[in-house]
Amino acid sequence: GAGVSQSPSNKVTEKGKDVELRCDPISGHTALYWYRQSLGQGLEFLIYFQGNSAPDKSGLPSDRFSAERTGGSVSTLTIQRTQQEDSAVYLCASSLYSSVNTEAFFGQGTRLTVV
Amino acid sequence: GESVGLHLPTLSVQEGDNSIINCAYSNSASDYFIWYKQESGKGPQFIIDIRSNMDKRQGQRVTVLLNKTVKHLSLQIAATQPGDSAVYFCAENSGSARQLTFGSGTQLTVLP
């Protein structure tokens, strides 16, 4: 597609339920990031995928959070047993990996509300 | 600087004035820096980038300045317009980590 696509755009879930958030990166982009943004706050790094390398999971806040990237393209962020503090906008970004740094392109985000 | 749990710093400017948004970074190994603009309800959008072998780069109405000595980055917006109202984030990337680390952001409000 022309840009990074995230689905759903909005998700309301009950506390304790599991949710899956999807990210379709720009075709050909080998790097993929997940960030979390709470209302009025900055971007909190969650996880980074680069090609076939082991992902950098250093930003995942707890073992309830996991992510995978299948076939080097689509990524799914899963939050198990959701809590109210998980409510935030979850942003995905992709970039074209090369030896020279390039910018990351962001999707519109998924707004998660845990009630 | 600290960002978690704090409200975003704000900057208000009159339409037509120049804006300067500042960012301090902590990783001296960072070699690539980006400024993003985020409008309400949207994802961040790329504005301009600069590599560590440069100290200034200009785009259309925007200039980024990099001072590696004091680990400081600034974004200058010339003749600020209402459409410039948004949250502005700086991001840094160190070659070894490859991930982008974002600053806390600044809310720019353009007054008529």
CB-CB: which of A33, A44, A101 is closest to B32? A101
| φ/ψ of residue B15, rounded to 5 | -55, 130
pLDDT value, residue A101: 65
pLDDT, tens only, B39-74: 988 999 999 999 999 999 999 999 999 999 999 999
Q: How confident is the model at residue B1 (pLDDT cuts 50, 70, 90)?
A: very low
pLDDT value, residue B5: 36
Chain B residue closest in CA terms to A5: B43
pLDDT value, residue B98: 64
| Residues of chain A neighbouring B43 (CB-CB closer than 8 A) | 4, 91, 93, 106-109
pLDDT value, residue B2: 31
| Residues of chain B neighbouring A40 (CB-CB closer than 8 A) | 7-8
* Closest to A107 in 3D by CA, of A12, A26, A10, A13: A26
Q: Is A109 close to B49, i.e. CB distance below 8 A?
A: no
Distance from CA of B70 to the nearest CA of A (A): 22
* Closest to A111 in 3D by CA, of A33, A42, A26, A13: A13
User: Considering only A33-42, A79-88, B84-93, which range has the smallest mean pLDDT?
Assistant: A33-42
